Amino acid sequence: MSGSYSAEQERIASLEARVNSLERQLKRQKIARKNAESFLESYSQDAYLANQALRKSLSDSKKRERELLYLNRTAAELTKSQSSKGFIHSALSSAVEFSGAYCGKALIVKDKKIVVGDDDSILMGKGEWQSNTDITALFLETLPLHLEESYEHWCISVAERPDTKQEARVLHFMHEVTKGEFAWLALLTNDDSLDEEMLFVLDTTKHYINFNSRYQSKKSLLNHQQDELSSIKKDRDTLEARLVSADKMAMLGQLAAGIAHEINNPIGYVRSNTVVAKEIFNDYQHALEDIGRLCNEAGGELKDKFHECEKGYSLKESAAEIKEMFDESLEGIERIIEIVKALRSFSYPGSGKHVKLSAIESMNSAMKLTNNLHRYKNQVSLLAEHGDVTFMGNAGQIQQVLVNFLTNAIYATPEGKHIYLKVEKRGDKALLIVEDEGIGMSDDVLQKVFTPFFTTKPPGDGTGLGMSISMTIVEEHNGEIDIQSEESKGTQITLILPLV
């Protein structure tokens, strides 16, 4: 009995010890659980706060991105060449997109009249233009269009949206673009809440509009000044070229005058002696004919002797040849005299009386004088569809100019090609045109065509004075020479003279 009691006591003690152990384990687990719950709560709170901070940072980043995009887009508009209308619409588009406004409208007021935006068009938040009479009326009622002093910042007015009947805000801004010209921007918000930072960024609009107006003004002034400088440079280059040409022509004139003077005297002697020698030869020829007639009348040995001498010395043939030589010599002398006259007229272009001349007659004379050059080579046609025109000029000098033009055309035109002489009238000017189907001229040749002694002809075929002399004559007649030429297609040279 005693042993059974002891065993029971031991079992009870073991159970109590086990219970105590389990209680201690449960207590430790409760403490661990409590600690875990506390840690989990703290971690969850930290995670929530971190998530909120992340959301805020992301929102701020997106906001900064929109601000940067707005500023970048607005700044990019400054590099574009736009009118006031184009720039104010670009500024409106950027402002509507950045602010998230329901819609916007741009106006330009000049001399107290709306010159841009006087219709019902508004720019929606999605970037689309729509026609809305009610919202346009709301903008016009809200904006103080009578003001003529630029805003420092965007202004805010309370308004009721006509579509939702809810309270909203109208943001408006005005800047004086030029004297008496004012640009207006107006935005209608989706609700009555506003972001102060957004308004601060929108304030940059005034700087861009102001900068653009000054930029466009300066650019216009700069372009105008550049055009003036370009015109002045062109005039200066032309004047320099004319001065160089005038200097060359002056020296050439002095040279020509000296040559003409030196040649004129001896050629006068040669001409006079040749004419006298021809007359004396004619007298000898007549005397020989009389002697022959007397010998024939005497007959007999005298007649035979005369005919023997006549045949032996080839008197008839020699006489004909000498006569031909005299004619050719005189023709050459006359040609030299004409050249001397041309040199003198080049040196003193003002000499000679001006009379009323016919353009058709002047053209016909040039055709006749060059007939031996073009007769078997080119077909030359005279066209005067609207009849004849008249002008004042020296007949010989005008003829010299036209002959020079026509001679050059014949030289440059291949055989079988056509040359046209045209008479036209343009306003108060007479136009005498020589147009060929020749080889044309390069730009380099065109620039040198009036340069003294410049010629494209082979040595011996041209002196290079023809066009220089022609220019001198034409300027003395208050006229102009216009040359249009294209290589391989031909040349058109026009003599322009005042009508009578």
Q: What are 282-334's pLDDT values in tens digits? A: 888 888 888 888 888 888 888 888 888 888 888 788 888 888 888 888 888 88
Q: How far apart are CA 482 and CA 166, in angstroms?
A: 76
Sign of the C-alpha dihedral computed for residues 54, 58, 59 and 63 taken in this order: positive
pLDDT number for residue 81: 47
Give the pair of three-digit tokens for residue 57. Answer: 């940072």
Q: How far apart are CA 11 and CA 4, in angstroms?
A: 11
> Are 177 and 84 in contact, with CB atoms under 8 Å apart?
yes
- Considering the chain, what percentage of its residues have pLDDT values greater than 90? 22
pLDDT number for residue 215: 62
Q: Angle formed by the axes of helices 315-347 and 204-298, to 10°?
A: 150
pLDDT number for residue 492: 95
Q: How far apart are CA 100 and CA 98, in angstroms?
A: 6
Give the pair of three-digit tokens for residue 97. Answer: 């997109």
Q: What are 185-216's pLDDT values in tens digits? A: 999 988 776 666 667 667 666 666 666 666 66
> Are 409 and 364 in contact, with CB atoms under 8 Å apart?
no
| Residue bearing the bigger pLDDT, 71 or 278 | 278
Give the pair of three-digit tokens for residue 421. Answer: 């002489």
Task: Write down the residue that tokens 């006569």 correspond to.
Answer: 323
Indicate if the pLDDT at residue 455 is higher than 80: no
Neighbours of 461 (CB within 10 A): 9
Indicate if the pLDDT at residue 490 is higher than 70: yes
Q: How confident is the model at residue 64 (pLDDT cuts 50, 70, 90)?
A: low
Q: What are 130-189's pLDDT values in tens digits? A: 999 999 999 999 999 988 888 877 888 888 888 888 888 899 988 887 788 888 999 998
Three-class secondary structure of residue 361 per DSSP: helix
pLDDT number for residue 79: 52
**101-105, 125-129, 336-340 — which is least confidently predicted?**
336-340
Most confident by average pLDDT, 110-119, 277-286, 424-433: 424-433
pLDDT number for residue 257: 66
Spatial CA neighbour of 182 closest among 157, 206, 158, 215: 206
| Residue bearing the bigger pLDDT, 461 or 158 | 158
CA 71 to centroid of chain Cα atoms = 36
Identity of residue 390: T
pLDDT number for residue 391: 95
CA distances from 264 to 110, 277, 279, 288, 488 (A): 78, 20, 22, 36, 42
Give the pair of three-digit tokens for residue 201. Answer: 């960024």
Q: How far apart are CA 468 and CA 473, in angstroms?
A: 9
Indicate if the pLDDT at residue 255 is higher than 60: yes
Q: How far apart are CA 390 and CA 411, in angstroms?
A: 28
Q: What are 113-129's pLDDT values in tens digits? A: 999 998 999 999 888 89
pLDDT number for residue 103: 93
Residues in the chain: 500
Indicate if the pLDDT at residue 418 is higher than 90: yes
Q: 204: Cβ–Cβ under 8 A, 6 or more apart, which residues?
A: 71, 74
Identity of residue 346: F
Secondary structure E strands in 30-136: 103-110, 113-116, 121-124, 129-131
Spatial CA neighbour of 94 closest among 61, 58, 68, 120: 68
Mean pLDDT to the nearest integer, 56-74: 59
pLDDT number for residue 217: 63
Tell me what the pLDDT averaged over the chain comes to.
Answer: 80
Q: 131: Cβ–Cβ under 8 A, 6 or more apart, which residues?
A: 119, 120, 121, 122
Mean pLDDT to the nearest integer, 401-428: 92
Mean pLDDT to the nearest integer, 258-283: 81
> Are 461 and 420 in contact, with CB atoms under 8 Å apart?
no
Q: How far apart are CA 306 and CA 315, in angstroms?
A: 11
Sign of the C-alpha dihedral computed for residues 65, 71, 73 and 76 taken in this order: negative
pLDDT number for residue 299: 85
Spatial CA neighbour of 74 closest among 174, 188, 212: 212
Most confident by average pLDDT, 246-250, 471-475, 482-486: 482-486
pLDDT number for residue 187: 92
Mean pLDDT to the nearest integer, 362-376: 85
Q: How far apart are CA 302 and CA 289, in angstroms?
A: 15
Give the pair of three-digit tokens for residue 369. Answer: 């004088």
Rg (CA), the chain: 54
> Are 343 and 253 in contact, with CB atoms under 8 Å apart?
no
